[in-house]
Structure 1
Amino acid sequence: MRDMFHSKVDRKEALVGIVGLGYVGLPLALSFHNGGFPILGLDINEGLNEDLMSGKSRIHYIAHDRIKEMVDGGRFHATHDFARASEADALLICVPTPLNKYREPDLSYVEATARAIGPYIRKGQLIVLESTTYPGTTKELLADILEQESGLKVDVDFFVAYSPEREDPANESYSTATIPKVVGSATPEGLEIVSALYETVITKVVRVSSPEVAEAVKLTENIFRAVNIALVNELKVIYDKMGIDVWEVIDAAATKPFGFMPFYPGPGLGGHCIPIDPFYLTWKAREFGMHTRFIELAGEINKNMPQYVVDRVAEALNGVRKTINGSRILLVGIAYKKNVDDMRESPSLELLEMLEARGGEVTYFDPYIPVIPPTREHKSLTGRKSFGYDRAKIGEFDAILIATDHDSVNWQELAQEGQLIVDTRNAMRDVPVELRKKIVKA
């Protein structure tokens, strides 16, 4: 079985099935396509599949031409027909793993996927979970469901592995193919098979001893970031009281060639990983009678940042004899990070609602998100449209709140035309000195 899989991989004849064609699955599909493999995309969103098959990308930093080239080459097909899972030699699962309203892991997408493909699993297949989750998911959830649905035996009839996605949207230095890939499987044969597949398209594959280790790797990476971001967010609040610019402190500290790694503060945490992943470990740790006090404290600090920012907006407006109530406020940036059209878990949504709850008349501007799509926790904002950028109207706003520092925004122009600017990203660091008197850092 292993030899047959290796042979098909070596000849680039192995059909790679990718379940979930979003921010993780689509770049992965492009990488395998570039590596010469045929790709079968499986997604429940029929509209997305139709767009892809017509050469359209829904992710702004992935050009339409790249999708069209993949489709026109005849080695890519996207469908919602999960019965076709039996055709694939490898199935890579890239579905969301959010938190529920109780801040507990929501693995419903993983479960639904396992039950959808389970009846069609065949002997010799490799199933890889890429979605971020707690240690034990691959064995305790995915493998069990696949065995129940297929009637086959894992590690005997088919193989299961875990390989955490490490996507960083819009990162110009690293792509899917150049970011080292961690892989873990329960048996040496499974590890050999999953490594052989990824080694054909990824620059470096890092093998670990089990799926649990691989699952813990991804959580550790993002917990590291969450904790350090919480640290600099807390330092920002402390240093602000002392009249010290935290960004200047961090930049100077970063000149030390050892023992320091720069992290930068912001208005809160956003994205599909950092605000969510730590709570997967927190939840799992309770099973072992453990409490993740350090992680939970970091989460509390980061979660409180939007309130801190709103308070800073209030203070800034008070300084010019105004209040949030009745003021016109331009919120710059709805995306959770710069240069992307991804607004999952974005703190900007919370900022918008909090400012409006205090009577502010809030308009947002984001060149990457012209309309706010439906979200689970901010349903009232669905359909809100971005400000049609007009330099002549910038001065009509009582305050501008910078939440996302997109490179395409003309910061000099905003500084010139704006009455009052609250900057949570240090986006105004290069504006002329004479304009800085109207800028408040938050």
Structure 2
Amino acid sequence: MPADLAVVGLGHHGLPLAQAATAAGITTLAYDPDPRTVADLMAGRPPADGSLSAAELRRMLAAGFTATADPAALGRVRTAALCVPTPLGEHRALDLSALESAARTLATRLRPRTTVLLESTVYPGTTQGLLRTLLEDGSGLRAGQDFHLAYSPGRLDPGSRSHGYGNTPKVIGGLTPACTEAAAAFYGRLTDRVVRARGPREAEAVKVLENNYRHVNIALVNEMSWFCHDLGVDLWDVIRCAESKPFGFAAFRPGPGVGGHGVAVDPTYLPYESRSLGYPLRMVELAQEVNSRMPRYVTQRCAQLLNEHGKSARGARILLLGVTYKPDLADTEGAPAREIGSRLRELGAELSFHDPYVTDWQIQGRTVERADSLYEAVAGADLTVLLQHHRTYDLQGLAVKAQLMLDTRGAAPVGAAHRL
């Protein structure tokens, strides 16, 4: 059966796009080469990362959404959106292998007048370089003439109650003006505002800038947390006062580390064009260095707090609260909790964890005990460490029960816990 849209890649970008398109009345199918992933979705089993609830998936299926592992279905769509993961690989370079595979799969089924959209995080130049070449070589068609090709950076804020697909503007950069307009016509059905970039390179660079803006500013405030702690200054009060400035300041807050899918992107190497910029993005490199130190810093603070209270990290019972990368989500991708837990174990601590969205959690292949009775676990722990502030946590009540608490999110009431 023909479909208006095929979403290739059923991850944190692909499924929300499929959900928005289905809700807008667009006949949508999702393609994934893994039959198990497809079978789970068609049976109404949502992904474990919490990007889609069971109720949301049921509504999508009832509205006609389908998933398939048969690539032949890609030859019967008007629009194809590539939303495959591009994680960091060796030397922190983006791994584009999934994108290459998806492009080759689509290319052999590509029909004239199809609109091809790329949403994955990539280096500037990927759409009109790597992707265009793969699609043209595999199909015999020409981008900008026989089919439309455009890039639109993924901009979702998972778990947000205020920013959804409809009220988050979509940036679009097409290979030609006609490509841009074809992409705008599609996204205009899903979002209130479409922003046209000059071309795909500019749209790709938007994603690089947005991701790096976040990482650089988080690094700054993380470094301020060390500075203020050493001086005995309350950083959280500093931020509260600073954000009263109505211009020139955007508030970021420190944390135990940076996780999730919005990786810092340093386009030092452009392998698909066989050339290098010859220099790194210094701010991005430094921000990554600072942010990657946070799990070690949190571990040091844990050991220091225990020592100040006459206890050693070796043999200490430490409870970790919240092991996901973002509040009120089940996604643990890149969450700093795993490195912090690993370092605490190396110090000899006896670990347990609690997270309302995670039932099983492992560190280096070893299962960490889950605390079923939260308040009893907090009372019995020598140190409780808040790593993620889920809405279900009553931090005032937990702080009263805790023998010792370190709050890495600044979420507990002032004076109720030690803060990062």
Normalising by structure 1, report the TM-score. 0.90
The equivalent of 2:418 in structure 1 is 440
Does residue 394 of structure 1 match 2:372?
Answer: no
Which segment drifts farther, 227-236 or 61-70?
Answer: 61-70
Corresponding residue for residue 106 of structure 1: 95
Q: Give the secondary structure class of the aligned counterpart of 1:92.
A: strand
Q: Secondary structure at the match of 2:90?
A: coil
Return the match for 2:38 from 49, 55, 63.
Answer: 49
Match of 2:59 in 1: 69
Partner-residue secondary structure (3-state), 1:330: strand
Distance 1:196 1:261 in 2: 33
Q: Distance in 2 between matches of 1:345 and 1:336?
A: 7
**Could you say what secondary structure the match of 1:256 adopts?**
coil
Shift of 1:125: 0.8
- CA distance in structure 1 between the aligned counterparts of 2:81 and 2:373, rounded to whole angstroms: 41
Q: 2:331 — aligned with what?
A: 342
| Alignment correspondent of 2:182 | 193
Post-superposition offset of 1:136: 0.8
Change (3 A) 1:61 1:287: closer
1:422 aligns with one of 406, 417, 420: 406
Indicate conservation of the 8 Å contact 2:264/2:284, yes or no.
Answer: no
Pair 1:124 & 2:109 matched: no
Post-superposition offset of 1:278? 2.4
Q: Deviations over 1:351-402 (max 9, x none)?
A: 01111111111111111111137xxxx6525x54532134223222111111
Q: Deviations over 1:50-106 (max 9, x none)?
A: 222223322536332222122123x21101111210011110011111011321111
Alpha-carbon shift at residue 215 of structure 1 (Å): 0.3
Per the TM alignment, residue 315 of structure 1 is displaced from its structure 2 partner at its CA by 0.6
1:222-301 paired onto structure 2 within 5 Å: 222-273=211-262, 276-279=263-266, 281-284=267-270, 287-301=276-290
| Partner Cα separation in structure 2 for residue 415 and residue 348 of structure 1 | 20
Q: Are the counterparts in 2 of residues 306 and 350 from structure 1 also a CA contact under 8 Å?
A: yes
2:413 maps to 1:413: no
Q: Which residue of 2 aligns with 1:215?
A: 204
- Could you tell me how far apart the structure 1 residues matched to 2:185 and 2:42 are? 29
Equivalent residue number for residue 75 of structure 2? 86
Alpha-carbon distance in structure 1 between the residues aligned to 2:374 and 2:174: 55
8 Å CA contact retained: 2:322, 2:354: yes
Letter in 1 for 2:54: H
CA distance in 2, matches of 1:232, 1:162: 32
1:148-192 deviations in Å (ceiling 9; x for gaps):
211222222112110001011010001012110000011111111
2:168 matched residue in structure 1: 179
Equivalent of 1:153, from 124, 130, 142? 142
Aligned length: 415
1:27 counterpart residue number: 16
Question: CA separation in 2, counterparts of 1:69 and 1:327?
Answer: 47
SS in structure 2 opposite 1:270? coil
- Post-superposition Cα deviations, 1:182-233, rounded to whole Å, max 9, x if no partner, equal 0001111111111111111211000011111000001101111111111111
Q: In the alignment, what sits opposite 2:348?
A: 359
| Distance across 2 between alignment mates of 1:159 and 1:299 | 36
2:166 and 2:325 map into 1 onto residues whose CA distance is 24
1:138 maps to what in 2? Answer: 127
1:307 partnered with 2:296: yes
Aligned partners of 2:315 and 2:332: how far apart in 1? Answer: 27
Equivalent in the alignment of 1:10 = none
RMSD value, Cα: 1.8
Give, in whole Å, the separation in 2 of the partners of 1:101 and 1:372: 25
- Give 5+ residue unaligned stretches, structure 1: 1-12
Any stretches of 5+ residues in structure 2 without a counterpart? none
Q: Which residue identity does 1:72 align to in structure 2? A: A
Question: What is the SS of the residue equivalent to 1:395?
Answer: helix
Matched residue of 2:352: which SS? strand
Counterpart residue type for residue 69 of structure 1 = R
Q: Which amino acid aligns with 1:418?
A: A
- Contact 1:133 1:277 (C-alpha < 8 Å) held by counterparts: no
Which residue identity is paired with 1:380? Answer: G
Instruction: Give the distance between the partners of 2:410 and 2:381, measured in 1 at CA.
Output: 20
Counterparts of 1:386 and 1:282 in 2: how far apart (Å)? 42
Whether the aligned pair in 2 keeps the contact of 1:186 and 1:209 (CA below 8 Å) is: no
Amino acid at match of 2:383: A
Contact 1:131–1:164 (8 Å) recurs in 2 = yes
Q: 2:365 aligns with which of 368, 377, 380?
A: 380
Distance 2:156 2:409 in 1: 22
> Is contact 2:188–2:194 with CA below 8 Å preserved after alignment?
yes
Shift in CA distance, 118/385, structure 1 to aligned 2, threshold 3 Å: farther
Cα separation, partners in 2 of 1:251 and 1:202, compared to 1, 3 Å? same
Counterpart Cα distance in 1 of 2:190 and 2:180: 16
2:155 maps to 166
Three-state SS of the structure 1 residue aligned to 2:351 is strand
